Amino acid sequence: MTKRLCLFAGYSKQNIIEDYVVYYLKKLSEYADIYYCADCDMPKEELLKIKPYTKLCLAQRHKKYDFGSWGILYNKIFNLTDYDELILANDSMFGPLYPLENIFKKMEKVNVSAWSLCANKFMMSFFVVLKPEVFATRWFKDFITDIKTEMAKNDIVRIYEKKISAIIEEHGLKWDAVFSKNNLKEQIKKNQSVIRNSLKTIPFFIRLTHRFRPNKTRVYDDDFFILFLLGMPLIKKQAFLMDNNHFQKLAPLFIKKYTEYDYGLISKFLDSNYAKNSNFEPLSKIIKSIKNFVFEKKYKGRGIVYRFCKIKIYEKKHRTY
């Protein structure tokens, strides 16, 4: 039996552990020993919510986001050699929508040293699984415990999320993903009839205006529901806040029809955190479009491009390691 260790990173503006996180940890604890760290100051009463499902739970404001929490937890593990796999996960996802056992069994057959649920050019860090030839090495320890404080979350994600895939390759090891632009078309082809019938769940006016694209994995827009139909067990929290998709309409339709997941966990979080969010109002969309035209900040390649009225005025390169 595979013995797994999970380092789980959390964060909350309200310094609380939401119900959807408690459920996620409960289900994840069926497959791994969980060590939890939140990048915020939480009262002890909050941490008690997840005590039954964790080996260690702590909270401290370090401003290094998920990678910082994983580094803190990594330093607290003294029996790494007891484990066959190390999972890096965070609370940016709702789920699991489907049993995680399906994914673990599928990836046991793949001969790689690391894998993630989703990837395009690199592994997306919301759920990554590492083998001992990665997580038990000195070079990985140096990487995960030496996270710097960055100016913005997007910077640290793009620097370190890309780096974790890169250093694995640099040491002559291979990684893969359950869903990636390399295997997505093949998976869709194998399940074409199921997907075609299931997409009828989508209201006609949305199907009429949206063209699903199978050329890469997308977790923030309506194309996510292709992954969902292929067995993707987690759904991005942030996707519900984007103003260019129909997530809030489609998610309850698919989740209630095809899974046993309690959609109330999602709606409760959205209602309590974003009830007054205006991103979904037509006027707000127009105002945002105008603002984006006047001033735009866009991540491109290895840096950030700033544009004024679509004219590039400055480009900042990410630092590399």
Task: Report CA-CA distances (Å) from 301 to 108, 158, 177, 221, 305.
Answer: 33, 10, 21, 21, 9
Report d(CA 218, CA 117) in Å as an integer.
Answer: 12
pLDDT tens-digit profile, the chain (321 residues):
899 999 999 999 999 999 999 999 999 999 999 999 999 999 999 999 999 999 999 999 999 999 999 999 999 999 999 999 999 999 999 999 999 999 999 999 999 999 999 999 999 999 999 999 999 999 999 999 998 886 676 777 778 999 999 999 999 999 999 999 889 999 999 999 989 899 888 888 888 877 778 788 989 888 999 999 999 999 999 999 877 678 888 999 999 999 999 999 999 999 988 754 444 444 555 555 566 656 666 655 556 667 777 677 777 665 444
Closest listed residue to residue 145, CA positions, set 201, 217, 68: 68
Closest listed residue to residue 145, CA positions, set 43, 239, 53, 76: 76
- Tell me which fold the domain 4-178 belongs to: Spore Coat Polysaccharide Biosynthesis Protein SpsA; Chain A (3.90.550)
Secondary structure percentages of the chain, helix, strand, coil, to 5: 45, 20, 40
Of the chain, the end-to-end C-alpha distance in Å amounts to: 37
Enumerate the domain spans of the chain: 4-178, 184-280, 284-317
